[in-house]
A = this chain, B = another copy of it.
Amino acid sequence: MCKSDRKLIPPTFDDVLTAYARVCPYIHRTPVFSSRFVSSVAGAKLIFKCENLQITGAFKARGALNAVLGLENSAAKKGVATHSSGNHALALAYAASLRKAPCHVVMPRNALLSKKHAALDYGGKIVECESSASARERMLVKVLAEYGAEFIHPFNDARVIAGQGTCGLEFCSQAADLDAVVAPIGGGGLVSGVCIAFSELAPATKIYAAEPKNADDAFRSIRAGRIISDDSPQTIADGLRVPITELTWKFVHSKLTDVLTVSEQSIVDAMKIVWQRMKIVIEPSSAVALAAVLANSKLFARKRVGIILTGGNVDLERLPWQRHFPASPRDLQ
């Protein structure tokens, strides 16, 4: 079987364990926090897995490291490439830097400046493109052809999903007996990894994905029974503008309890509560899971709910509660 096939076979719990042994020395075992105030607002006992405190500022380091550290030397030498709105890009740049491998990242022009700068800081080479999924893919094909680099997809890749599963693995060991776990869904890499870990270690825990109403392709896909993808959805949750794909769909349609959708305003409100009361910096995509719990108070009433805070990479000069945000339609392109 050729390599490109292998990376499209759904990973197993064993793959997650192998990934954990591989990435463990290079990631943080991120802490879990709780807040009496936020729990009281939710009417539930909330436990937050703080991947915003992960190296490179997001859970994406787990998947990128698993993929890059597992490369043969010859492949690493040619380098790696990807398309990403930001967090996977800088995670991949970080992972590649550990192997002194070149890293090419196709990023949409409207990606956050802070994410672009961080990718550059880690030694990544940025190629800009328009913000639609199709534009990203077209540009990536060009980059792969030019450099012969290994493509590390941000989520439609078994190595990446197994890496993200290590977040679920840790969370299970840090917070026992969760009635539910809620994670944001964009392409579905994290959610797929969480499904693998929780199905094995905490099969009674219900698994919810949370999604912006403005980018609700997973929600509509589940209801339609097939993948529905939007090319360029508009949401403040910049990490969740991508559609699910074949590999993540396998987990999304078979393992998820449900997908919950939330408004843009509720994302901003949830983000602000976390900053104000928990004193940690999370990005809008991170706030989507809490927003979903707060918007579905009956569903989670008095339950013990795990929430994955996925990342903390924001432009501090452009916060969503400032009156200048969004400054122009370009921000929501």
Query: Which of these, B57, B114, B280, contacts A281 with CB under 8 Å?
Result: B280
- Collect the chain B residues with CB atoms within 8 Å of residue A272's CB: 316
- The complex places the Cα of A262 from the Cα of B75 at a distance, in Å, of 50
Per-residue interface assignment for chain A, residues 38 to 56, with 1 indicating a CB less than 8 Å from any chain B CB and 0 otherwise: 0000000000000011000
- Give 6 A-B contacts (CB < 8 Å), ordered by A residue: A31-B31, A279-B280, A280-B280, A281-B281, A319-B319, A322-B322
Taking the nearest CB of chain B, how far is it from the CB of A198, in angstroms? 25
Query: Which of these, B57, B114, B276, contacts A114 with CB under 8 Å?
Result: B276
A279, B53: Cβ atoms closer than 8 Å: yes
Query: Which residues does A use to contact B, with CB under 8 Å?
Result: 31, 33, 52-53, 57, 114, 272, 275-276, 278-282, 312, 316-317, 319, 321-322
- Collect the chain B residues with CB atoms within 8 Å of residue A317's CB: 321-322
- The complex places the Cα of A276 from the Cα of B315 at a distance, in Å, of 8
* Number of this chain's copies in the complex: 2
- The complex places the Cα of A281 from the Cα of B31 at a distance, in Å, of 16
From known contacts A31-B31, A272-B316, infer whether A52 and B322 are also in contact, taking CB-CB under 8 Å.
Answer: no
**Residue of chain B at shortest CB distance from A322:** B322
Taking the nearest CB of chain B, how far is it from the CB of A19, in angstroms? 22
- Collect the chain B residues with CB atoms within 8 Å of residue A322's CB: 317, 322
A279, B57: Cβ atoms closer than 8 Å: yes
- The complex places the Cα of A282 from the Cα of B33 at a distance, in Å, of 17
- Collect the chain B residues with CB atoms within 8 Å of residue A280's CB: 53, 279-281
Taking the nearest CB of chain B, how far is it from the CB of A6, in angstroms? 33
Taking the nearest CB of chain B, how far is it from the CB of A210, in angstroms? 20
Query: Which of these, B53, B316, B321, contacts A275 with CB under 8 Å?
Result: B316
A275, B281: Cβ atoms closer than 8 Å: yes
Taking the nearest CB of chain B, how far is it from the CB of A37, in angstroms? 8
- The complex places the Cα of A52 from the Cα of B280 at a distance, in Å, of 9
- Collect the chain B residues with CB atoms within 8 Å of residue A276's CB: 114, 281, 316
